[in-house]
Homo-oligomer: A and B are copies of this chain.
Amino acid sequence: MGKKLTKRAEDYSKWYNELVVKADLAENSGVRGCMVIKPYGFAIWEKMQAELDRMFKETGHQNAYFPLFVPKSLFEAEEKNAEGFAKECAVVTHYRLKNDPDKEGKLMVDPEAKLEEELVVRPTSEAIIWNTYKNWIQSYRDLPILINQWANVVRWEMRTRLFLRTAEFLWQEGHTAHATKDEAIAETVQMNDIYAEFVENFMAVPVIKGVKSESERFAGAEDTYCIEALMQDGKALQAGTSHFLGQNFAKAFDVKFANKEGKQDYVWATSWGVSTRLMGALIMTHSDDNGLILPPNLAPIQVAIVPIYKGEEQLDAISERIAPLVKELRAKGISVKYDNRDTHKPGFKFNEYELKGVPVRLAIGQRDMENGTFEVARRDTLEKETVAEADVVAKIEELLEDIQKNMYKKALDYRESHITEVNDFEEFKEVLEAKGGFLSAHWDGTAETEEKIKELTKATIRCIPMDAKEEAGQCVFSGKPSNRRVLFAKAY
Contact = CB atoms under 8 A, between A and B. Distances in A.
A97 interface: yes
Oligomer copy total: 2
B43 A156 contact: no
A468 to B, nearest CB: 37
Interface stretch (A10-18, A67-75, A198-206, A239-247): A67-75
Interface string A33-68: 011111100110010000000000000001111111
A95 B63 CA distance: 29
A450 interface: no
A65 B119 contact: no
Interface string A98-112: 110000011101000
A43 to B, nearest CB: 7
A412 interface: no
Contacts of A132: 27, 29-30, 36
A109 B96 contact: no
A431 interface: no
Contacts of A95: 88-91, 156
A27 B135 CA distance: 11
Contacts of A34: 67-69
Contact of A74 (B30, B64, B66, B141): B30
Given A31-B70, A38-B64, A65-B42, A118 B109 contact: yes
B62 A42 contact: yes
Interface string A80-93: 00100011111111
A42 B68 contact: no
Contact of A86 (B97, B147, B343): B97
A94 interface: yes
Given A31-B69, A74-B30, A119 B90 contact: yes
A375 interface: no
Interface string A148-163: 0001101010000000
A166 to B, nearest CB: 9
Contact of A76 (B74, B107, B154): B107
Nearest to A149: B42
Q: How large is the interface on A (under 10, 10 to 19, 20 to 34, 35 or more residues)?
A: 35 or more
Nearest to A87: B96
A258 interface: no
B76 A63 contact: no
A416 interface: no
Contacts of A119: 31, 90
A72 B99 CA distance: 12
A68 B343 contact: no
Best-surrounded residue of A76, A97, A141 (most CB of chain B within 10 A)? A97
B93 A107 contact: no
B121 A97 contact: no
Contacts of A31: 67, 69-71, 119, 128
B107 A68 contact: no
Interface in A135-176: 135, 141, 147, 151-152, 154, 156, 168, 170
B63 A36 contact: no
A339 interface: no
A91 B92 contact: yes
A35 B96 CA distance: 20
B97 A67 contact: no
A82 B343 CA distance: 39
B96 A86 contact: yes
A120 interface: yes
Contacts of A86: 96-99, 107
Contact of A30 (B27, B65, B71, B79): B71
A259 interface: no
Given A39-B63, A87-B98, A109-B118, 19 more contacts: A29-B131, A29-B132, A30-B67, A31-B71, A31-B119, A65-B170, A69-B90, A75-B97, A76-B106, A87-B97, A88-B95, A89-B96, A90-B92, A90-B94, A90-B119, A91-B92, A91-B95, A91-B109, A93-B93
26 contacts: A27-B132, A29-B66, A29-B67, A29-B128, A30-B71, A31-B67, A34-B68, A36-B66, A38-B64, A39-B64, A43-B63, A68-B121, A68-B168, A69-B90, A76-B107, A79-B105, A82-B107, A86-B99, A88-B95, A89-B96, A89-B97, A90-B92, A91-B92, A91-B93, A93-B94, A109-B118
